[in-house]
Structure 1
Amino acid sequence: MLWNIDLTLVDVAIVTRDAYAEAFRQVTGRPLVKLAPAMGRPDSEIIFETLAINGIVTGDEHLPRFIDALAHAFAARRKRLNKDGRVMAGAKEALKAVARLDGVVQSVLTGTIKSNAALKLNAFGLDKYVDLEAGGYGEEVYPKATLLQVAQGRVKQAYGFRCDGSNTVLIGDSTRDVQTARIAGVPIIAVASGRSTPGELREAGADIVLPDLSNASEVVAAVARLTSPVNRKAG
């Protein structure tokens, strides 16, 4: 199970915007005028577009510097996550319910850089349900579908079984998440808790669309419907 984080499990957009503004100022010496929209994209892509639309000519040094500044700026604001953010409806209960399924491994496929992803989940007590080492993150400059396959490889290395479209499910909230799953050849449970409507998610090709995660039994049933038992000796 690979979970998207923002607007699927948590909403910490206010803190994220402030951290981006601070990171931009540190890297460029200028105030941030406009932040590129997330739209399910990784931080690496958002950083490059943000620099471009604010008139910064980018070089090879900008991405690592910005990622480092973003990590420090977000960490400095970690105490605000509970105050200015929220856990999405049913997220903790859904994670707990899926964790009880036999043989399940839960991780994340997120556009957020790894250190910030860990802080987002930890702020709401969600990190205990996922193996963060097996996930895919926004500082890794891959297309998101390729990043999904990278995460599958990490699961195989750590747990010894092969992941494919029969035993991997992505849960996300955006049409970008749906497109990622389609390209990677895995099923997706789309939740209409973000900025994509149920109709948009269905049109994009989601296998199952839920209004949110508030019905944990419904989430578990959807996972069971889309997967087959894992053969841990395979691969």
Structure 2
Amino acid sequence: MLWNVDLTLVDVTIVTREAYADAFRQVTGRPLVKLAPAMGRPDSEIIFETLAINGIVPNDDHLPRFIDALAGAFAGRRRRLDKDGRAMPGAKDALKAVSRLDGVVQSVLTGTIKSNAVHKLRAFGLDAFVDFEVGGYGEEVYPKATLLQVAQSRVKQMYGFACDGSNTVLIGDSTRDVQAARIAGATMIAVASGRSTTTELRDAGANLVLDDLTNPSEVAAAISHLTTPLTPRPA
């Protein structure tokens, strides 16, 4: 069970933008004029586009330096997350309801770098339901569909479960999330809590589209209905 983070579980847009501006200045010595839109993309992609649209020619050193600076800038603002951000409606109850399902491992598939994903969920008490070690993150320079498969592989390694499309669910809010799930052969539950509309999410091929996460029983029931239980790999 993989959750997207931003605009699915939390909204910390203000803090994220400030951290990006801080990181950009640290890496380039210049103020940030324009930030590339997220649109469900990983931080690695946003960083490269942000450099380009601000007139910086990226080199091999830019990405690791920017990721380190972004992690530091965000960590320095982590105490503001609950003040200037919010957990999405129903997020905590949905995570809790899914955690009660037999054989479920919950993690994240997010464009956010790992350290920032942890800060985002921890600020709202959502981290207790998530195994961050088997997730997929924005510093890993792969398309989201590949990250999903990487996360499946991590679950196999750590839990010994036979993990494939029949028992992998992604919950996210963007058409990019839907596309990643379809390419990887996973089940997609879309939530119209971000910038993609219900129609866009449905047309992109989501198995189910919810308005939000405020009915945790509905979320848990949908996962049970759309998947088969995880089973250990044969010895």
Q: Which amino acid aligns with 1:190?
A: A
Q: 1:51 maps to which residue?
A: 51
Q: 2:36 maps to which residue?
A: 36
SS of alignment partner, residue 63 of structure 1: helix
Q: CA 1:228/1:234 → structure 2, altered by over 3 Å: closer, same or farther?
A: farther
Equivalence map 1:87-166=2 (5 Å): 87-166=87-166
2:149 is equivalent to residue 173 of structure 1: no
CA-to-aligned-CA distance 1:97-155 (integer Å, 9 cap, x gap): 00000111000000000000000000000000000000000000011100100000000
1:234, distance to aligned residue in structure 2 (A)? 4.2
CA-to-aligned-CA distance 1:184-223 (integer Å, 9 cap, x gap): 0101000000000000000000000000000001101110
Q: In structure 2, what is the Cα distance between the partners aligned to 1:234 and 1:48?
A: 43
CA RMSD of aligned residues (A): 0.8
Q: Which amino acid aligns with 1:210?
A: L
SS of alignment partner, residue 37 of structure 2: coil
SS of alignment partner, residue 20 of structure 1: helix
2:209 is equivalent to residue 209 of structure 1: yes
Q: Which amino acid aligns with 2:148?
A: L
- After TM superposition, the score normalised by the length of structure 1 is 0.99
1:225, distance to aligned residue in structure 2 (A)? 1.3
Q: In structure 1, what is the Cα distance between the partners aligned to 2:23 and 2:91?
A: 29
Name structure 2 gaps, 5 residues minimum: none
Q: In structure 2, what is the Cα distance between the partners aligned to 1:110 and 1:38?
A: 11
Q: Runs (4+) of structure 1 moved beyond 2 Å?
A: none
SS of alignment partner, residue 166 of structure 1: helix
Q: In structure 2, what is the Cα distance between the partners aligned to 1:144 and 1:233?
A: 25
Contact 1:5 1:117 in 2 (8 A): yes
1:77, distance to aligned residue in structure 2 (A)? 0.3
Q: In structure 1, what is the Cα distance between the partners aligned to 2:234 and 2:77?
A: 44
Equivalence map 1:189-208=2 (5 Å): 189-208=189-208
Name structure 1 gaps, 5 residues minimum: none
Q: 2:75 maps to which residue?
A: 75
Q: 2:85 maps to which residue?
A: 85
Give the total of aligned pairs.
235
Q: In structure 2, what is the Cα distance between the partners aligned to 1:4 and 1:20?
A: 20
Q: In structure 1, what is the Cα distance between the partners aligned to 2:230 and 2:62?
A: 42
